[in-house]
Amino acid sequence: MATELFRRLFAELVGTALLVLFGAGSVVAALRLGHGALDYPALGMIALAFGLVIAIVVYGFGTTSGAHINPAVSISLAAVRRFPWREVPAYVAAQLVGAVLGAVLVVAVFGTQATQLGGVGSTSLAPGIGYARGVVAEVIGTFLLLFTIMALAVDRRAPPGWAGLVIGLAVTTDILMIGPVTGGSMNPARTFGPYLVNTLFGGTTPWADFGVYVIGPLIGGVLGAVGYELVARPVREVPAEAPQGAEGEIRGRRVSKGRAGEEGQVTTTSAGSDPP
């Protein structure tokens, strides 16, 4: 059991490191090519980079750890009883460590110049954006993310094979909308890693904004997960005790035709009937 948990935690660590390396790293790359300026087409490329790396991680580690790579995802799934609370602290710790590792690798690729290029890909509130508006933007973005995860990765009625791509596109969509406001984090770990590494390498870090990237994603994530459970999967349609997306286990037994077979009929036994 301990070995299995360690394997899943390692998958979360590596997955989150990849998210920050290629996601936040794309921010540094865009700022470097733009000589410190970031326009909307460049934001589009950043959004695409995030979406693609998330899709890759979901396809790669989805069957191992669930590929949460986001504390808001782990906590939100636990809130709707789709993930055990006892494993949330370990998952969050692995995600935070992975995010720091990914940010260190960004510095390894771009050098300490990365601290001057967006603070190692850090998220921050845009000029003129207040704390409350930033929280609202992150709530909206993370709501869409968790709603998509519930619909494509958790609900067994979903068409197979689409989860990674659509979840990645949901993040791309989020960044295209709220990126100009908050940077489009939807993930406390994604913000924490670059913040810490930027600070360690002497950069100026907007720690005062960090609460936006914790409060917003947690509220939005829980709302998205609960909203899907209440609206898209009413209990009256799918019983809570049944496996998700199924009608429950089908039980039965074969009954020899006997006398009924002689009459051209087949006798069956319902799941709740007693054996003869």
pLDDT in tens, 24-54: 999 999 999 999 999 999 999 999 999 999 9
13: tokens are 């660590």
125: which 2 tokens? Answer: 């509130």
Is position 247 within any domain?
Answer: no
Amino acid at 216: G
**Is pLDDT above 90 for 157?**
no
Supply the pLDDT for residue 180: 97
Residue 107: CATH number of its domain: 1.20.1080.10
Residue 223: count other Cβ atoms within 10 Å of its Cβ: 18
Identify the pLDDT of residue 263.
42
Q: Alpha carbon of 86 to those of 63, 75, 90, 91: distances in Å?
A: 20, 11, 8, 10
Percent of the chain with pLDDT over 70: 84
For residue 224, is pLDDT > 90?
A: yes
The angle at the Cα of 212, spanning 208 to 218, to the nearest 5 degrees, equals 140
Asked, for residue 112, whether it belongs to a domain, the answer is yes
* Whole-prediction pTM: 0.83
Residue 74 resides in a domain:
yes
Predicted confidence (pLDDT) at residue 135 exceeds the cutoff of 70: yes
178 lies in a domain?
yes
pLDDT of residue 156: 85
How far lies 69's CA from each of 29, 61, 93, 186, 260, in Å? 22, 10, 11, 11, 58
Q: What is the mean pLDDT of residues 186-192?
A: 98
In a domain, 187, yes or no: yes
Q: What's the token pair of residue 235?
A: 């209990």
* Residue at 275 is within a domain: no
User: Structural domain of residue 60, as residue ranges?
Assistant: 2-232
pLDDT per residue over 60-84, tens digit each?
Answer: 999 999 999 999 999 999 999 999 9
Torsions phi, psi of 114, nearest 5?
Answer: -60, -25
Q: Which residues contact 81 (CB under 8 A, 6 or more apart)?
A: none
Note whether residue 267 is domain-resident.
no
Q: Above 50 in pLDDT, residue 234? A: no
Please tell me which residue, 188 or 259, carries the higher pLDDT value.
188
Name the domain count of the chain. 1
Band of the pLDDT at 3, cuts 50, 70, 90?
A: confident
Cβ atoms of residues 9 and 91 within 8 Å:
yes
Tokens of 222: 């829980």
Give the pLDDT of residue 1. 65
The answer to whether residue 269 scores a pLDDT higher than 80 is: no
At residue 249 the predicted structure's pLDDT band, cuts being 50, 70 and 90, is very low
pLDDT over 90 percentage in the chain: 80
Residue 21 lies in a domain: yes
- Give the per-residue pLDDT at 43: 97
Of the listed ranges 91-95, 148-152, 165-169, 271-275, the least confidently predicted one is 271-275
pLDDT on residue 232? 87
